[in-house]
Structure 1
């Protein structure tokens, strides 16, 4: 028989009570430990909070100190610009007084008082005054920006680069007559000046070089990969616009006085000079596709060696008001040297140097754009006397031509609004620099005021279209 173990005796109530007491004491100890740990965590949190407050105070102090340093740097910058402006004003005043003294003592009897004694000095004084005004405005704007709560650094235009470029222009204008034989200083300030011709050619060369250096292969072939769009773009810029400009000019200018001849000549040269160097910027202002604009710009620049002289020849043969006689092979050579050659060099530079070429191209584009603006102002200053003599018919013809060009480019640009605006802008954006160069180089400087009038009136006329197209592009990109 198997024996069974007796059951273990159950603990009595006293033992259970003692065990519960022991467990309660342990729980109490654990609770006390947790309380101590919580208190320690609270103390650490308070210390961290205190350190955070101290760090915040230090950060605010560093921010204020940084603002003070920036403000002090701005003050030093302003003082530097004041010294620069004072130097230019003093130097210009000294040049003017020196030649005045020489003139009074009859030491320099052959000096032309208007163009040789005073222009360089007055130009330096004017540049000094303008620089000082720009520095004051820039300084005040920067101080307001620093004092704002949401101050963040952002890229701004370089005043120093602008002033340096203007000084470069003045230096070239004074230097070229010294190295180019047969050019007198007085000839600098004429519309047929070889100085203007040389500067225009140099500026176009740099602009085309920078365009080639900044053009990526993908942007270059944007239109080439779309033959239909390329054909319509070339139809608008190289055929319809020149024909429309010639017809409108012929109808509006017919029956006018003798001054309409130079207006017609200026419009004809503009019609034959497509592909403005700053086309991509103008297209972006109208919400245009930048790749399409760049591709169209490069394509027109490459074709200009053929299309420019050919268009001029056709227009001069068909329309009597365009009274011009020129060597068209010489014009083709001028276009080749001033536009096609630097563009090819820039494209080759971009291919072999990559991003470095693009950086150099951006710098060259900034310098050349500023030089071009100064050249336009310079030409405007020379033309100010003859601008009022432009026939009113010419002032009427320009906006009509611009509207016609916008319509052609918009209609032929296809269904996409960004492409339409790019083609429309490319149609009316003529190469004013090349037109200035061709007119001055071929003895037709009296037509330069028409080019300047087209630049100004054309920009104003196209402004409503640019605003509308940009709004349409934004609406397409961000549908409600």
Structure 2
């Protein structure tokens, strides 16, 4: 019997966050003192400023034509920080892998406070009906999906660093495979609606693209002048957590499958737009 989509989402998130904890460099937390101001700016950007930018975009008169599922998808991606693939991507694209790990862990921890508060702000602002969102419920979802596996991974890294080093690559591959299966599973389930969704939500695509570009600019501007820090913070702010967004969509909007499709479209736009930025940064670092 095939696993239910909900179980696949939960398993994917658990493995992603567990692999993050296991793979966190041992000097990661010691860098808190070195980058305290930078860390606070990054958390402000990814956990507060990106969601507020999304809120302002969704209040902009031209975006009032957006469908409710598209608005939900943009909102969920905006409020869900700590991208699951950030650690590996930062290390391969001229960023600071250790700093990215520290920022991702911090964002995952702060999210348990910011997501419930932002959920209240978004639902109150737009008068959303039908979403029985309670802060304690959102907090429990975030804690179970991010905190628990993350802390288990950190404990393993701390108590058995040798085992953690050997397991880091296999766990990372398993997490990436599960995320790929999750994305493909959602696409398979929603494929018949893809053409209809895109046709009905053409105005949503530039809104998503605008939010991704704003997020990249925020991260770039909040960093110090170090090019590696700029790449890292740009990735931290722009790359959201689709696994967590899908989990919240399944919990609070189970009867609106188009929300999940919108989350995947947002993820695809993020990947497409971050490519030119990273190539530009790579050329800049090569010429320095």
State the partner residue of 2:136.
329
Q: How many residues align?
A: 283
State the partner residue of 1:382.
189
Residues 408 and 245 (structure 1), Cα distance of their counterparts in 2 relative to 1, 3 Å cut: same
**How far, CA to CA, are the matches of 2:286 and 2:32 in structure 1?**
23
Q: Is 1:348 matched with 2:155?
A: yes
1:117-144: CA deviation from partner (whole Å, max 9, x where unpaired): xxxxxxxxxxxxxxxxxxxxxxxxxxxx
1:269 and 1:435 in contact (8 A); partners too: yes
1:236-278: CA deviation from partner (whole Å, max 9, x where unpaired): 1111111111211332664316xx1111111111111100111
What is the CA-CA distance between 1:384 and the residue it aligns to? 1.7
- How is 1:408-447 mapped onto 2 (pairs within 5 angstroms)? 408-442=218-252, 443=254, 444-447=256-259
1:367-406: CA deviation from partner (whole Å, max 9, x where unpaired): 1211111210111121222233241111110110011001
- How is 1:269-418 mapped onto 2 (pairs within 5 angstroms)? 269-320=76-127, 324-388=131-195, 389-390=197-198, 391-418=201-228
State the partner residue of 1:199.
8
Spell out structure 1 runs of 4+ moving beyond 4 A.
Answer: 320-323
2:47 and 2:111 in contact (8 A); partners too: no
CA RMSD of the aligned region, Å? 1.9
**How far, CA to CA, are the matches of 2:31 and 2:96 in structure 1?**
10
**How far, CA to CA, are the matches of 2:62 and 2:142 in structure 1?**
28
Q: Flag structure 2 segments of 5+ consecutive residues without an equivalent.
A: none
Instruction: Tell me the SS of whatever aligns to 1:384.
Output: helix
Question: Which has the higher relative contact order, 1 or 2, with Cα contacts under 8 A spaced 6 or more apart?
Answer: 2
Q: Is 1:472 matched with 2:279?
A: no
**How far, CA to CA, are the matches of 2:109 and 2:283 in structure 1?**
32
Given the two structures, how large is their TM-score scaled by the length of structure 2? 0.92
Q: Name the larger-Rg structure.
A: 1
**How far, CA to CA, are the matches of 1:474 and 1:322 in structure 2?**
52
1:279 and 1:426 in contact (8 A); partners too: yes
Residues 252 and 383 (structure 1), Cα distance of their counterparts in 2 relative to 1, 3 Å cut: farther
What is the CA-CA distance between 1:421 and the residue it aligns to? 0.9
1:233 and 1:409 in contact (8 A); partners too: yes
1:296-316: CA deviation from partner (whole Å, max 9, x where unpaired): 111111222212222222222
**How far, CA to CA, are the matches of 2:52 and 2:244 in structure 1?**
19
**How far, CA to CA, are the matches of 2:112 and 2:169 in structure 1?**
25
**How far, CA to CA, are the matches of 1:245 and 1:453 in structure 2?**
16
What is the CA-CA distance between 1:365 and the residue it aligns to? 1.6
**How far, CA to CA, are the matches of 1:223 and 1:253 in structure 2?**
42
Q: Flag structure 1 segments of 5+ consecutive residues without an equivalent.
A: 1-173, 177-194
